Amino acid sequence: MFDVDDTLYDEIDYVRSGFAHVASLGQGSEVSAATLERWLLDAFESGVRGDTIDRMLASFPSVAARVTRSELIDAYRAHAPEIHLDPATYRLLDDVRDRPFRLAVLSDGPPASQRSKVIALGLDRWFDPIVLTGTLGPGYAKPATGGFEQIARAWGMPGHALVYVADNPEKDFAGPRSLGWTTIRLRHARQLRHSVEPVDDASSPDLEIHSLTELARLPDLSAFRKPSIGERICM
């Protein structure tokens, strides 16, 4: 099973796409879309998170007079993003699909934006089910285990037979590891959180790779699985 953002594609591409769309809505005779897009990207690259659009509106009052914060946020989340799978990832997924493996997606985030990513990337070609925790209600976002348990039940498979590939040790690995899944961290320099380190052993992945193509070269993944929390208690 796979995460989406910064796992199947580079999340920075979604950010750029969203900022370009927001800039097109905010442009006017006194400020161009290119100026707004560059401002948003510069702010993001300098570490601004969460209130980037608020800061842009404060910096460009003429834009704030034309369009509201909520309108821009909704537009960012609902826009049809210009994102794509790397050709190597596309080939890997085709190869895995043709072998005796099941593929699923579990991803957090606002439902509108996550749905638009699924459509843009064409993920239904390979993945079933596609679980977007934002559509399931409160309490399903990672590190909660509800989404993982839903997939395990749908497949009728035990945790030790399941693998989750993701990027973010702050939330991605503790949940499935507690259920006995094998967890793999994809880590490379283009990711937004590539420098984030696990805060403890429970949030650490069982294995780290640097490209998805490495998955095809891995031996039996059960050999890498660390004992789950429950297993440790019984030891």
Residues 110-159: pLDDT tens digits? 999 999 999 999 999 999 999 999 999 889 999 999 999 999 999 999 99
Q: Provide CB contacts within 8 A for 68, sequence distance 6+.
A: none
Instruction: Tell me which CATH homologous superfamily contains domain 87-234.
Output: HAD superfamily/HAD-like (3.40.50.1000)
Please name the residue that has the structure tokens 């707004």: 36
Q: Which residues have C-beta within 8 Å of that of residue 40, sequence separation ≥ 6?
A: 19, 22, 23, 52, 53, 56
Dihedral Cα 45, 47, 52, 54, nearest 10 deg: -140
Residue with tokens 């914060």: 69
pLDDT of residue 98: 81
Instruction: Tell me what the pLDDT averaged over the chain comes to.
Output: 92
**Given a cut of 80, is residue 79 above it in pLDDT?**
yes
Nearest 5°: the CA angle 13, 111, 10 is 20
Q: Stretch 178-185: mean pLDDT, rounded?
A: 97
pLDDT number for residue 226: 56
- Provide the residue type at 58 as one letter: A
User: What's the confidence (pLDDT) of residue 216?
Assistant: 80
